[in-house]
Chain A
Amino acid sequence: MRQGSIGILLLLIATEGVAQSQISGGLLPELTISRTFGQDWKASLQLESMQALYSGNTEDGSSSSYEYIRTDFTTMVSRRMNPNVSVAAGYMARATESRWVQRTIQQISWVQRQAAFRIGQRIRTDQTYADGTNPIYRARYRLALDIPLQGLSLDVGEFYLIPSYEQLGVYRSSEWDGESRLLARIGKLINEDLKLELGLDHRFDGYVQGEQGHRTWLMMNAFLTH
């Protein structure tokens, strides 16, 4: 899957000069609060808002500045199946400027510990519904590394780096398309209960159907555990 995605990425870069593209970028702040119940159950609330500061079209040269895109209110409940594997299910309500969108989410994730970093993998499926449009079904795989930057393990007050790659398959109105996401985040473990992160999230799609889209977001994440 990863090799295929890298191939698609290279193809995309090679054809970027001639293809028509939608380009946009902006802010993507996110706040996640998690609480564990017992030893294996956890509930998480995630608030995420996307706001474009620029968007443009390479073909007709049109562009626009600030645009509110969406705010997501997500609830996830997860259960740890063994020390490394968790399964989770969730529901998201999305407020866009013109309508409400709903999404149901299912995922399995697992973490492998290495001497100097952790490898996190996630398989997620989600289903998105909104009035007046066909449902969207997505299957996603994400590979992330969690690398302490000041030693072999992460201690309070230290920085870490999380590069990640996610490949999405998107099914809508009887057609498949793909989306890829490349992310890099720098974080700091402020204390045992709080992590703050800053990073870039680059997304590109439309390489199977229609025009290409490139979107780059400045991420500002806070993760709180309770």
Chain B
Amino acid sequence: MHRLIHKEYIWIWLAVMVILFPRGSWAQEKVKWEQELRVDESQVPESARSVLASWTAADVHIRWYLERGKESLSYEAKFKEEKHRYSIEFDEQGMLEDIEVELGFKQLPDSIQSALCAGFRTIDKFKLKRIQAHWKQWPEPGELLRGRMEHNTPDLYELEFKAVIDGRLALWEGQFDLPGNLLSYREIILRSTDNIDL
């Protein structure tokens, strides 16, 4: 009896596996247009390096990444200084593109905290995961990097949060303006976890 059940199970199992087998997957690498690679400082345009060197203390450890898009190339410097995580992006020529600073919610000015909280209340089951202040341009980045953010209002805040949006509980990335309005959002698609949970 057991043997019969096993036999049927294996045949059905094999048939389903053949049906499910994604035939195109063994083909050559599909082209993907976004790539981020760790690069050595010597590969970064001189102007970006010298600008950053003038803003940061000598002992700050800067990690450089090359971000390759379909039609763009940029360099991103990541480092931690005075308890803040910075991510500063330069274009191919080494010109500043934007600055992001990861903050704790309590590090935001009180007025911004209340405005954002009011915005969060309009979203079902909102749970904040990560917050970054985002500057598109910065007249004196050196001031920013010395932690003097209170006088330098960012253009917007980029948040990572768990919430129910469009009837779906998921992880989202959204941009909030300073009055706390959700300007845009997209779902963060997590890479398959098959190889760490099966």
Interface residue ranges, A against B (CB under 8 Å):
32-35, 39, 44-47, 73, 75-76, 78, 82-84, 86, 88, 91, 93, 95, 100, 102, 107, 109, 111, 113, 118, 120, 122, 131, 144, 146, 150-158, 162, 164, 185, 187, 190-195, 197, 221, 223-226
B162 and A73 contacting across the interface, CB-CB below 8 Å: no
**In the bound complex, CA of A156 to CA of B171 (Å):** 22
**In the bound complex, CA of A195 to CA of B195 (Å):** 9
Give every chain B residue within 8 A of A76 (Cβ-Cβ): 198
Residue of A nearest to B21 (CB): A33
B37 and A83 contacting across the interface, CB-CB below 8 Å: no
Contact among A83, A122, A224 with B21 in the assembled complex (CB-CB below 8 Å): A224
Residue of A nearest to B76 (CB): A152
Q: List the 3 closest pairs (A to B, CB-CB), nearest first.
A: A120-B196, A109-B197, A83-B171
Q: How far is the CB of A174 from chain B (nearest CB, A)?
A: 24
B40 interfacial by beta-carbon distance below 8 Å: no
For this complex, 28 residue pairs linking A to B, each with C-beta atoms less than 8 Å apart, are A34-B192, A34-B194, A39-B168, A44-B198, A47-B17, A78-B197, A83-B162, A86-B193, A86-B197, A93-B10, A102-B2, A118-B193, A118-B196, A144-B196, A150-B37, A153-B36, A155-B34, A155-B36, A157-B35, A164-B196, A192-B30, A193-B25, A195-B192, A195-B194, A195-B195, A223-B192, A224-B22, A226-B22
Q: How far is the CB of B90 from chain A (nearest CB, A)?
A: 17
**In the bound complex, CA of A118 to CA of B190 (Å):** 11
**In the bound complex, CA of A187 to CA of B192 (Å):** 14
A162 and B195 contacting across the interface, CB-CB below 8 Å: yes
Q: Indicate the size class of the contact surface on chain B.
A: 35 or more
**In the bound complex, CA of A157 to CA of B68 (Å):** 14
Give every chain B residue within 8 A of A195 (Cβ-Cβ): 192, 194-195
A191 and B30 contacting across the interface, CB-CB below 8 Å: yes
B22 and A225 contacting across the interface, CB-CB below 8 Å: yes
A154 and B192 contacting across the interface, CB-CB below 8 Å: no
B195 and A187 contacting across the interface, CB-CB below 8 Å: yes
**In the bound complex, CA of A88 to CA of B196 (Å):** 13
Residue of B nearest to A154 (CB): B191
B17 and A111 contacting across the interface, CB-CB below 8 Å: no
Q: How far is the CB of B191 from chain A (nearest CB, A)?
A: 6
Q: Which of A88, A95, A164, A192 gathers most chain B CB within 10 Å?
A: A192
B148 interfacial by beta-carbon distance below 8 Å: no
B193 and A73 contacting across the interface, CB-CB below 8 Å: no
Q: How far is the CB of B162 from chain A (nearest CB, A)?
A: 6
Give every chain B residue within 8 A of A185 (Cβ-Cβ): 195
Give every chain A residue within 8 A of B16 (Cβ-Cβ): 45
B22 and A156 contacting across the interface, CB-CB below 8 Å: no
